[in-house]
Amino acid sequence: MSVIAVVDYDMGNLHSVCKGLENVGAVPKITDSPAIIEQADAVVLPGVGSFDPAMQHLRSRNLIEPIKSAIASGKPFLGICLGLQILFESSEEGTEPGLGIIKGTVRRFRSEPGLTIPHMGWNQLEFTQDLPLWQNLPAEPWVYFVHSYYVDPVDLEVRSAMVTHGSQNVTAAIAKDNLMAVQFHPEKSSSTGLQMLSNFVMQVREKVVA
C-alpha cells in the first residue's frame, strides 16, 4: 500500500486532507519527520493561513530541505492552497522568502467595484494543461476556494488551470514534472475534489509499480 506523507507544519487542514485521501483508498501519514517524508511514496503539502508564518514554521521544523529533496526526487508531490503559494519565491503578503521551487510571486487581488476579497466559495476552473490530475472530470468543474492572494508564475507554461474572480483571470493550479499544486481545496470540493485526489493516488500507485 502506498504511503503518502502529509506535511505537518501547524498551518491547518491536515485532517480534512487526510480524510479525503482515505476516502479514495490512500494511506496518508501526518508527519513533520524528514525521514518519513524521504521514505514516503508521495508528499502532500497542505496549508491554510499566512505566507510568513508558514515559512517560519517550515524553517523551525527543518522541513525546507526535505520538501525540496522530495520534489527533486521525482516522487508525486501535491501542494494545496497555501501549500501552492509557498512553492514560489516571494509574496506580497509578507517579507519571508518562499521555497523558490517555482519562479514567481504571490500577489493580492486588486480591489475593484463589487469584488469580494477574499475570493471565497465555489468557482469554475478553466484547464490549460491536460494532466492526469484532471482525468474523468467535467469541463470547467466547480471547486471550492478561500484565498486573498494568487500565484503569478514567471513561466506561464507551468499554469495548469485558471480561475476568474471579478475581472481578474488568475492561476488556479500549476504543474511541472512530478510537482502539482492547486489554489483551491480538493478536500472541500465534493465529488470533483475526490476525483482529483483519486487521480493523484492513482499516479502514486503507478509510480510505485514502475
* DSSP track, 144-202: EEEESEEEEESSGGGEEEEEEETTEEEEEEEEETTEEEESS-GGGSHHHHHHHHHHHHH
| 185: annotated active-site residue | yes
pLDDT of residue 13: 74
Interval 66-116: pLDDT, tens: 999 999 999 999 999 999 999 999 999 999 999 999 999 999 999 999 999
Percent of the chain whose predicted confidence (pLDDT) is above 70: 100
Q: What are the distances in angstroms from CA 112 to CA 64, 109, 117?
A: 36, 9, 10
Which entry of 18, 81, 147, 165 is annotated as an active-site residue?
Answer: 81
Interval 169-200: pLDDT, tens: 999 999 999 999 999 999 999 999 999 999 99
Spatial distance between the Cα atoms of 104 and 91, rounded to a whole number of angstroms: 9
Q: Is the dihedral of CA 104, 106, 177, 57 positive or negative?
A: positive
- pTM comes to 0.97
Q: Is the dihedral of CA 138, 139, 142, 147 positive or negative?
A: positive
Instruction: State mean pLDDT over 112-125.
Output: 95
Which entry of 18, 119, 147, 187 is annotated as an active-site residue?
Answer: 187
Which entry of 119, 147, 165, 185 is annotated as an active-site residue?
Answer: 185
Question: What domains sit in the chain, N to C, each tagged with a CATH number?
Answer: 3-209 (3.40.50.880)
| 140: annotated active-site residue | no
Interval 155-169: pLDDT, tens: 999 999 999 999 999
Confidence of residue 2 (pLDDT cuts 50, 70, 90): confident
